Amino acid sequence: MIDVVIIGGGPAGLLAARRLAEAGCDVIVLEEHRHIGRPTHCTGIVSAEMTKLVKIPADIILSRLQHARLVGPDREACDITWAADGEEILTIDRAAFDETLAAQAVAAGAILRLGAFVDGLASTAKAVTVRVGRESIVAHACLLACGASYRFQRQLGLGLPGRLLHTAQIEVDAEPTERVELHVGRHVAPEGFIWMVPVLRDGRPRLKVGLVAKRDAAKYLRHFTERPEIARQLRETPSTPTTRLLPLKLTATSYAARVVVAGDAGGFTKPTTGGGIYYSLLTAALAADVLIDALHAGRLDAQFLSVYETRWQERLGHELRVGDWFRDLLVKLPDRDVGTLIRALATDDVQSMIQQTARFNWHRDLILSLLRQRGIASLLFRSLFR
């Protein structure tokens, strides 16, 4: 019997595997795809704060971002410069990043199996059994790090994320630019937004163009890239986009007897933007540390593992609740009010406040500061009565 079986070879599963292996645990990671990091679903925008959890090799950095433009339904625009404290925002090669994490996990002693689709999972008082084809793997504990796939969460009574949106993304050769653009509006991306993120690959300027929306993400993305002003920026015809589900609310609980859940598998994403890399890594680190303690104590019951939920609540709970509440206000705004909000964000006073309070991974302080702006607060609170 091994110590921990991890379902999913993305950032959460791989970081947890490394930490567990470094602590002397026997770990196996089961990844359904045959190549780590592929297909690539993520835009790969991160802040340098992530280096507190993992090292980011210089050769996987595709761009360093300084500015963003928020564009409204009627082309209202607001330029935003990243936080004045010098927080560095990077676009990384996600496939290469995942490969780096995999190499670190294997070097620490974890076993990584690719093309290993998990057919079943059973948890008893004595063990967890995972079935891969005709093979059964028996472990003391299981970490679910399987991304936006919720077969086993439902089976184990952990629940499903309270909100799921749809994403679609392409990457194409494009005209050079250094600015990120975010486009919003009910007819552009219902309950979501479109991003245009510049990267350099082998010296070639390219754009990641993607969308998160309530429905029909690929259709809305196609309509956007067919706009004349957007098509002129692209040097090639967009291919079929990569699509996936994106959780924007937590599952009902993040643990059960012998099982804990990290990353997208538990709905750990920023409610405002859907970004999930940092929260995946953070929850994976917390989950691994709790499993190490549980294995040493010989306590893998739900009561002992509940400390995992206590720990992530201490780090993320208030952040997630404020972000979720703020998002509920935003999605109720009609396009007319979205344009008014963007114009308010462009004023000097609000721009100064944004630079003082904005942090890439932590949105609570910015949200609360925005709500202290009388005009913005009244605009948003009106949406409560719609």
| 22 and 155 together in one domain | yes
Of the candidates 203, 224, 223, 207, the residue with the CA atom closest to the CA atom of residue 171: 207
Question: What would the two tokens of residue 288 be?
Answer: 């691994």
Asked if 50 and 110 sit in the same domain, the reply is yes
Residues 199 and 302 in one domain: no
Q: How many domains does the chain have?
A: 3
Give pLDDT, residue 85.
60
Q: What is the pTM of this model?
A: 0.94
Confirm whether 68 is domain-assigned.
no
Q: 36: domain range? A: 2-63+94-162+248-319
In a domain, 69, yes or no: no
Is the backbone of residue 205 left (phi > 0), alpha (psi -120 to 50) or beta?
beta
CATH code of 215's domain: 3.30.9.10
Q: Give yes or no: residues 210 and 149 share one domain.
A: no
Query: Pick from 230, 246, 262: which residue ends a domain?
Result: 246
Cα 83–chain centre separation: 20
Shared-domain flag, residues 15 and 129? yes
Last residue of a domain, one of 246, 263, 284: 246
Give the end of a domain, one of 319, 334, 355. 319
**One pLDDT digit (tens) per residue for the chain, 386 residues:** 999 999 999 999 999 999 999 999 999 999 999 999 888 878 899 998 999 999 999 999 998 887 889 999 999 999 887 654 667 899 999 999 999 999 999 999 999 999 999 999 999 999 999 999 999 999 999 999 999 999 999 999 999 998 999 999 999 999 999 889 999 999 999 999 999 999 988 889 999 999 999 999 999 999 999 999 999 999 999 989 999 999 999 999 999 999 999 999 999 999 999 999 999 999 999 999 999 999 999 999 999 999 999 999 999 999 999 999 999 999 999 999 999 999 999 999 999 998 888 888 999 999 999 999 988 988 888 776 66
Residue 215 in domain: yes
Instruction: Estimate to the nearest angstrom the gap between the alpha carbon of 364 and the chain centroid.
Output: 17
84 inside domain:
no
| Domain assignment present for 219 | yes
157 and 168 fall within a common domain: no
Q: What is the CATH number of the domain that holds 24?
A: 3.50.50.60
Statement to judge: residues 137 and 269 lie in one domain: yes
pLDDT given at position 374: 83
- What's the confidence (pLDDT) of residue 65? 86
User: Which residues, at least 6 apart from 60, have a Cβ–Cβ distance to it below 8 Å?
Assistant: 92, 93, 96, 97, 100
Burial of 176 from C-beta contacts in 10 A (0-12 / 13-18 / 19+): exposed
Helix (H, G, I), strand (E, B) or coil at 242: strand
Q: Which amino acid is at 333?
A: L
pLDDT score at 87 = 75
> Hey, what are 319's tokens?
């952040």
Q: Looking at the structure, tell me whether residues 263 and 335 fall in a common domain.
A: no
pLDDT of residue 41: 76
49 with 149, same domain: the answer is: yes
Evaluate whether residue 195 is within a structural domain: yes
The CA distances from residue 269 to 80, 240, 248, in Å, are 22, 25, 6
Residues 299 and 335 in one domain: no
Q: How many CB atoms lie within 10 A of CB 236?
A: 10
